[in-house]
A and B are shown apart, each in its own frame.
Chain A
């Protein structure tokens, strides 16, 4: 299912986005007139030093937080025009999210966690797609387990599956391997890449790990709330060198 990831349609974009916290002396410009585009079927990495605004960008793009100004468009919808309720529904139906700390509901089983977003929407999962996802994450025999009965890697795979099951337009992953050892971290990254290559998903991942970013099709670099650079088909060495040149 290989395709040219650089030519897919733009599925999410940020135009001249500002995000300002506080005011006056304590004003912080987390995003400072940022522009970015993400295309369908693309696996992107957002990189940058601490405080560069990469997490804020993700929150704003995913509709978890609102930009102070500028336009954020996901799947053709301008998020700034949406009411809180509409934004929630958009998040539910069209956006997937993977957190650093897995963030599963501890009282629900793996399967229940996976279908939770659909359930909140009152929808039933497409069984064929669900099986495909479950097979892909390799958790077929663990579906009845509660999160505390799963390893960190397994929990994160459940979280990824949860993001996938609803077939969203785009999945945002915030340092998804941050809490994992390197082996399980690579499993997750492999899996995210598989989701893009074979299941046709779109993934944007925030990471500070050059090795992690090397799994992606494209890495963008943030500094002081702006995109400063971009690499296509990055490899770990290039990223490492680039970051060292930034002094980060």
Chain B
């Protein structure tokens, strides 16, 4: 019967529950959508991988060392192909050479052909075979100066068989003219997650890569009557004991590739899930408020139940069962709502330039369990506190008119509890920011700490919600007279309710403001570095994703007319005294004339075996100038190096060790660089010198040559597009908070029916009543926004302080945005009040007064 009563209560008040349900559904849908999207991506990519390697039984390839940076495989001699192909167990073998972000086709307009986001691959291809997953859709396999391209590229770039294109590659000095020989599909489908493919015959590919006689590996398809194990054993035997080679099975290839994709998808999915949890977190405040208000509205009913013998626990159970039912309903709707969210996210990302592969959305059991766990958990958990209030409703409440649950004692407890939660939140957040932790526990700690912090602030804000809203309402009262007075009083008369409503808005705005503080500080720090420590006039890099490009570009730039100094940066891995470390190769001969690492001791002149160390690292390892370290490079070259200088700024260099690039290029598999800075010759015309530089790297169409202000703009643009994504995701928090304000206002107005009737009876006009409700919501909205902005600035400030100065050295507070957000809070309040205000104004006066 209790559950029947609960169900009847839900049915009777479903209008009042709707907005709360909506807020939970939004959060739950986001959670569900995150899982759906990530699972669907996983399935699509594992499908792709399986297709790509379906015809391959085994592969011979070079061994990757612990210092490989992994952009390219270690190349091996093409002679190995003959050895493998000659084996009787082998039905088909093909030598292959591939490139990732190195070889592009260039359109007639001179623009490089590449999609935004998805990668560009280049492969050697001997035409359709048992081992190949490419099929010819049109034309024929490439031979000599020919390229076969994928159907997606052909369609997007408007290319057809017989068309002329230019092709770039790190091994060639100028673009090669080629003919499109064929259009290929991947398995049955045109598209492979939006990626582009450029296929050449092996000798052409070797020329393009500047690796004559070298291949990445040999793919092998065994005879039908030879088992995979036998095949692997035979190939291994034929290779002898060459330790630089390894043989792996097709399954291993699939596993490796899926693993790489999954790693990326996991990050993507977890970021989405993080945002989803924030949205769900915001709905906690709305659930709490709704139940608190519902209970105060049902106080007579609860008093009645108490008087006829319901125990306090039974009332608590009733509230919790109600929450449980709502949680279940919200979870069911949210689970499927995830489809909508996933579709929306796909759309948003494709608008932002990241193409999403098409595929069905997958409901995994795990998703269903988590969605229900979170949906029900959040709803029931948020209803806990109100349910305990229900327990304390006395039987006499049934007899009293307008009785309220006694909250005075509980208020003290709450403030005390809030203080504890707040302190714990601050402690965890600070420890998360400044403690020495690895990334995962740091993030977990920060997330949990921030959640506690928000809850703590929300609970403590009860203390000053009345005073703050009275203060904020003062100008309203002055401007609007009695109406303003009532609006102000209404906003401040139930501090708990106001605090919870405002807190929901606070969270979203605090996070947005915090992110703004971070990014604005990042931008300010970046500008400072550009202005103060970078002398370069030109910046040359791949603006797509900062992919490395061939070191030949540096030499070409150096001889361009009007260009004085050129300095490039490359990153690599080295083994220093037994520890694998990130290191930088830098043209140290340019000293600080192009890019400056802020030398605070010693010299840039590394000589034969010198190295520079970052000041922080020097302190950590207790190393000083003159100290000797043992270094092993990717090619196993090992030698002792001496520290010749200490630098203080690793923002541009990104590592704690700087070697001469002349040294690093000798000992890495590929001579690539990531970033080049150049200065103009004295007296050179900047525009002409920039054009000369552009000409000098014309064979690298993926590169852009930017001057100082263009460079700044690009970096700013990247920060901005990141901000847009973050804001879009956090925007849902604001939507939920908005629903929260509507919800509180609507419920409060129902509660005040009698009072409103009275106001109308004594002559308050509908218009005045609407204005009163509107101003109340505006006051609450501004209060929430102020809380959020202040908290966001504090959080952002703490985060910036925690980030090493080498990364962010300037704290910049977005004051303008702070003001805008506060106004936005008021505007949100105003819109939130529209429907509740209309409802209040439409109440029938007599009915309203006679309502008990």
Task: List residues of A whose CB falls within 8 A of some B CB.
Answer: 59, 62, 64-65, 84-85, 88-89, 91-93, 97, 99, 101, 103, 105-108, 112, 115-117, 119-121, 162, 174
User: Which of B11, B304, B396 is packed against the most chain A CB atoms within 10 Å?
Assistant: B304
Chain B CB count within 10 A is highest, among A62, A93, A97, for: A97
B4→A117 contact, CB < 8 A: no
Which residue of B5, B9, B308, B310 has the most chain A CB atoms within 10 A of its CB atom?
Answer: B308
> Which residues of B (394-430) have their CB < 8 Å from a CB of A?
394-396, 398-399
Q: CB distance B399 to A91 under 8 Å? A: no
Answer whether A59 and B396 are a contact pair too, CB < 8 Å, given A88-B309, A106-B12, A120-B308. Answer: yes
In the complex, per-residue mask of B302-318: 1 if CB is within 8 Å of any chain A CB, else 0: 00111111111010000
Instruction: Please give me the residue from chain B that is nearest to A84 by CB atom.
Output: B312
B9–A121 CB distance below 8 A? no
Enumerate the 6 nearest inter-chain pairs by beta-carbon distance, A residue then B residue, closest first: A92-B309, A107-B8, A119-B1, A64-B395, A117-B308, A103-B304
- Whole-angstrom distance between the Cβ of A225 and the nearest chain B Cβ: 18
Q: How far is the CA of A89 from the CA of B11 in the complex (A)?
A: 29
Interface pair A112/B4, CB less than 8 Å apart: yes
Query: Provided the pairs A103-B304, A107-B11 are in contact, do residues A120 and B4 lie with their beta carbons within 8 angstroms?
Result: no
| Residues A105 and B309 in contact, CB atoms below 8 Å apart | no
CA distance A65 to B278 in the complex (A): 45
B557-615 with Cβ < 8 A to chain A? none
Give chain B's interface secondary structure class.
helix
The interface centre, meaning the residue of B301, B306, B309, B311 with most chain A CB atoms within 10 A of its CB, is B309
| Chain B residues near A84 (CB-CB < 8 A) | 312
B316 to chain A, nearest CB (A): 13
Closest A residue to B313 by CB, please name it: A85
Decide: A105 and B307 in contact? CB cutoff 8 A. no
Q: B846 at interface (Cβ–Cβ under 8 A)?
A: no
Contacts of A106 in B (CB 8 A): 12, 301
Interface size on B, residues (CB 8 A): 26
Q: Is the CB of B399 within 8 A of A174?
A: yes
Query: Judging by beta carbons under 8 Å apart, are A85 and B312 in contact?
Result: yes
Contacts of B300 in A (CB 8 A): 103
Residues of B within 8 A of A121 (CB): 309
CB <8 Å contact, A93 and B309 = yes
A107-B1 in contact given A85-B311, A88-B309 (Cβ < 8 Å): no
Partner of A88, one of B2, B8, B306: B306
B305 contacts A105, C-beta separation under 8 Å: yes
Chain B residue contacts of A174, Cβ below 8 A: 399
Chain A positions within 8 Å of B307 at CB level: 62, 64, 91, 97, 99, 103
Contact indicator A92/B399 (Cβ below 8 Å)? no
Quick check: B310 and A108 within 8 Å, CB to CB? no
Question: Least Cβ distance of B608 to chain A in Å?
Answer: 87
Q: Which residue of B lies closest to A146 (CB)?
A: B8
Cα distance A91–B311 when bound, in Å? 10
Beyond A91-B309, A92-B309, A112-B4, whether A99 also contacts B399 by CB under 8 A is: yes
- Docked Cα-Cα span, A119 to B309, in Å, equals 10
**Pair A107/B12 contact, Cβ less than 8 Å:** yes
A and B contact pairs by CB, cutoff 8 A, 14 listed: A59-B396, A59-B399, A64-B396, A65-B394, A88-B309, A89-B309, A106-B301, A107-B9, A107-B11, A116-B308, A119-B1, A120-B305, A120-B309, A120-B314
A91 to B394, CA, bound (A): 13
Q: B residues 260-312 with Cβ under 8 Å of A?
A: 300-301, 304-312
Which residue from chain B places its CB closest to the CB of A109 in the assembled complex?
A: B8
Contacts of A88 in B (CB 8 A): 306, 309-312, 395
* A199–chain B nearest beta-carbon distance, Å: 19
- Other A-B contacts than A85-B312, A107-B8, 4 sampled, CB-CB below 8 A, are A89-B309, A105-B5, A107-B12, A174-B399
Contact between chains at B304 and A105 (CB < 8 Å): yes
Complex contacts, B5 vs chain A, CB 8 Å: 105, 107-108, 116
Residue in chain A with minimal CB distance to B13: A107
Residues of B within 8 A of A64 (CB): 307, 394-396, 399
| Complex: A137 Cα to B318 Cα, angstroms | 30
Question: Are B311 and A89 within 8 A (Cβ)?
Answer: yes
- Mask, B1-30, CB within 8 Å of A = 1, is 110110011011000000000000000000
CB of A56 to closest CB in B, whole Å: 10
List CB contacts (< 8 Å) of B377-393 with chain A: none
| Partner among B310, B395, B398, B399 whose Cβ is within 8 Å of the Cβ of A120 | B310
Chain A residues whose CB sits within 8 angstroms of the CB of B395 once the complex forms: 64-65, 88, 91
B152-172 at interface with A (beta carbon < 8 Å)? none
A105 and B306 contact, CB distance less than 8 A: no
A178: min CB distance to chain B, Å: 12
Please report the C-alpha to C-alpha distance between residue A174 and residue B2 in the assembled complex, in whole angstroms: 26
Report the minimum CB–CB distance from B17 to chain A (whole Å). 14
